[in-house]
Structure 1
């Protein structure tokens, strides 16, 4: 028995041999933005070579990206403030979680400051990067201050003398709420 070689499918032949170019027979112009196969071949042969950026341009781009990283915590502050305001000042699981996140995220951000900016460091932009790092630290400190504001609003910060001294009388509240059973 003779083995018959499998024939190549037509779609494989079509991939290797594109259809012939049809000549333009009408006086209708090509649509705007359309390039025929012959003009695209001309453009492919006359392609310009991309010039690599200089070190100054690279340093400027790195510094711009570093500033985006530095100001990113400031973009989160309004949403965090709204969430803290809406969660209320009572001791509930949601408000406690909000306070925990308000302290955890800035502290982790402060500890990872150098790691956040190490990919942007180069010899040409060290001075500008120091300023961006200081702005980043400032934004993280503002986020911590927002957490402290929330803790103070919840009444958990010791701000009176009676909180520290045993012989001082505690402050009398202006009003009391008594639940009815």
Structure 2
């Protein structure tokens, strides 16, 4: 008994394995940049070859460095809304998630401020050195906003001693001044 012949492959397999027929080129449409119409490498016309790019001037480089420095300085403020939403959603109870969020809200800005020189070192040049002071001050202020957000969350969790009743334990342990130092005149 002989085996029946295998079924023919699906149409999509046949279409995938065959090369598409050449289509007539529409002259009203221009090829996209970097596309050679022939489909073969090495067969490009003179207009396809790009002219070499000229090197940027020092002023252009300094302008780009300052733009990047300002982006870095403002970046901590861009993260504040997401941190605030996460802290709001974590609730005010003492749970591992809320405690870790508060810890990260303090740790990240403090480490960023401590590493401020390394952050902006690659952007400093003789042309941008005098302008970097304002950028660094802005960077520090934006990180202080993140610390303020963490402080707000700690207060919402009830961990900051803000009322007089929070200090009652210290008052009862301390002796009144009259008992601590007896009157020697009598």
Scaled by the length of structure 2, the TM-score of the pair is 0.67
- Write the deviation string for residues 92-138 of structure 1: whole angstroms up to 9, x where unpaired: 11111111111111111111111111110000011222111111111
1:30 aligns with 2:27: yes
Corresponding residue for residue 130 of structure 2: 127
SS at structure 2 position matched to 1:123: coil
1:159 aligns with 2:162: yes
Q: How does 1:36-115 map to 2 (within 5 A)?
A: 40-43=44-47, 47-115=50-118
Q: What is the alpha-carbon distance in structure 2 between the residues aligned to residue 36 and residue 151 of structure 1?
A: 64
Task: Give the alignment partner of residue 143 of structure 1, picking from 141, 146, 160.
Answer: 146
Q: What is the alpha-carbon distance in structure 2 between the residues aligned to residue 167 and residue 138 of structure 1?
A: 37
Greater mean deviation of Cα atoms: 113-122 or 47-56:
47-56
- Offset of 1:36 from its aligned partner? 5.8
Q: What is the alpha-carbon distance in structure 1 between the residues aligned to residue 102 and residue 30 of structure 2?
A: 57
- Offset of 1:29 from its aligned partner? 6.4
Q: What is the alpha-carbon distance in structure 1 between the residues aligned to residue 27 and residue 44 of structure 2?
A: 14
SS at structure 1 position matched to 2:92: coil
SS at structure 1 position matched to 2:160: coil
- Give unpaired runs (5+ residues) of structure 2: 1-23, 173-186
**1:148–1:43 Cα change, 3 Å:** same
Corresponding residue for residue 9 of structure 1: none
